[in-house]
Amino acid sequence: MSNEQQPFPEKRNILAILNHRGENLGGLPDWLHSQGWEVRVSSGLSESKSLLQNEISAAILLPLTLKRDGIEWQSLLPLLSPHHRIPWLVIPWKDAVVGSLSTLLIGSLAVADWVISSESHSEIGFRLDNLLRFEKIVDATRQHTNELESQLVTDHKTGLFNDRHFRTRLREEFERSTRHGSPLALMLLDLDDFKAINDDNTYEFGDIALKTVANVLRESVRNIDIAARIGGDEFALILPTTTIEEALMVAKRFQDSLHKNPAVEDSDIAQLRASVGIATTNKFGGRDSRQLFLQANEALKVSKQYGKNRIAFYDPSTRQVICHGATNKVE
């Protein structure tokens, strides 16, 4: 059997030693350096906080106290695992109460451990290796979870939110608008003549058209706006704190940009047009998010009836849909 030391985990870079007790570390820093670590030592709380805000891979703590609610730990914990990707190892003082360590570590979801003495170099190295390996597993699990969550709310063809997430967010934004008395606009968009695009080309080209609409939509809105694909060629945009006048400007900007960005694949080119229907909340507005959606959908129908590539909006005060100078009574 080979006596060669096993390679350290790939994520072995900078190690912070927070020596708040000012203990004599003996040969520990040099030993850690010989094991591949770049070691940095701090002695005060302010210095330690500054150190942890840099690119630290792991931390060894020699704390003044093991009380989680003290100023020392209240300052350090937000900078360590699980809040940040810095696993940590505690070295308590001689005769420290083990129960205090349990209170500090158990149930925190942190990637953390403890060792009895700073003189146990091999034990410290072993536990640091385990922490780094476990942190790598936790990070991979976290990324996988995020990917699964993203799949639950994302439309796979366009990368926009899907219909399910859109309806959840619409309810939330409607409730927020009602609670704070702020305006909310809902815009529904329908890609005109999408069937003809598919029939004249391929379904793959149809997907390119959908992605083009999605990209233009992203570029036409703010970070707080919520864009979604809610059907085959249907899209939706939730515009918080937006009046009808502002929503009309957004719709016009979107249509102008869409006109300048055709769907393209090799020699195939398709000019894209979209009909838009808008509804907003005000004192005459809908009772709930469902009614707001129905009003926007009614406006969308009218915009298509009046020639497509139009913008129509529902006026709740008159119960009419207005589309480029034409009106249509909605009962």
Q: Which residue has the tokens 């968009």?
A: 189
Does one domain contain both 171 and 241?
Answer: yes
- Would you state the pLDDT for residue 276? 96
Please confirm whether the linkage preceding 82 is cis (ω < 30° from 0).
Answer: yes
Does one domain contain both 191 and 55?
Answer: no
Which domain, by its residues, includes 280?
Answer: 163-329
Helices (H), 106-243: 121-153, 163-180, 194-200, 203-219
- Would you state the pLDDT for residue 6? 44
Q: Residue 6 falls within a domain, yes or no?
A: no
Q: Which residues of the chain have pLDDT under 50?
A: 1-12, 325-331
Does one domain contain both 170 and 255?
Answer: yes
Does one domain contain both 117 and 198?
Answer: no
- Would you state the pLDDT for residue 55? 85
Q: Which CATH number goes with the domain that contains 45?
A: 3.40.50.2300
- Reference 216, options 205, 204, 227; nearest CA is 227
Q: Residue 104 falls within a domain, yes or no?
A: yes
Does one domain contain both 86 and 173?
Answer: no
Does one domain contain both 169 and 271?
Answer: yes
- Would you state the pLDDT for residue 8? 42
pLDDT tens track for 90-126 = 998 887 776 677 777 766 678 889 888 888 899 999 9
Q: Residue 158 falls within a domain, yes or no?
A: no
- Reference 11, options 154, 137, 136, 162; nearest CA is 136
Does one domain contain both 196 and 281?
Answer: yes
CA distances 173 to 162, 280, 301, 314, Å, are: 16, 12, 24, 19
Which of 83, 118, 151 is the last residue in one of the domains?
151
Which residues pair with residue 320 across a beta bridge?
315, 329
pLDDT tens track for 174-204 = 999 998 889 999 999 999 998 888 877 777 8
Q: Residue 131 falls within a domain, yes or no?
A: yes
Does one domain contain both 52 and 175?
Answer: no
- Would you state the pLDDT for residue 310? 93
Q: How far is it, in rounded angstroms, from Cα 59 to Cα 254?
A: 50
Q: Which CATH number goes with the domain that contains 257?
A: 3.30.70.270
**Could you count the other beta carbons within 10 Å of the beta carbon of residue 95?**
5
Q: How far is it, in rounded angstroms, from Cα 114 to Cα 106?
A: 12
Tokens of 143: 């990324």
Count of structural domains within the chain: 2
Does one domain contain both 172 and 315?
Answer: yes
Does one domain contain both 147 and 168?
Answer: no
Does one domain contain both 271 and 201?
Answer: yes
Provide the whole-model pTM. 0.59
Which of 98, 123, 151 is the last residue in one of the domains?
151
* Burial group, residue 26, by CB count within 10 angstroms (0-12, 13-18, 19+): exposed
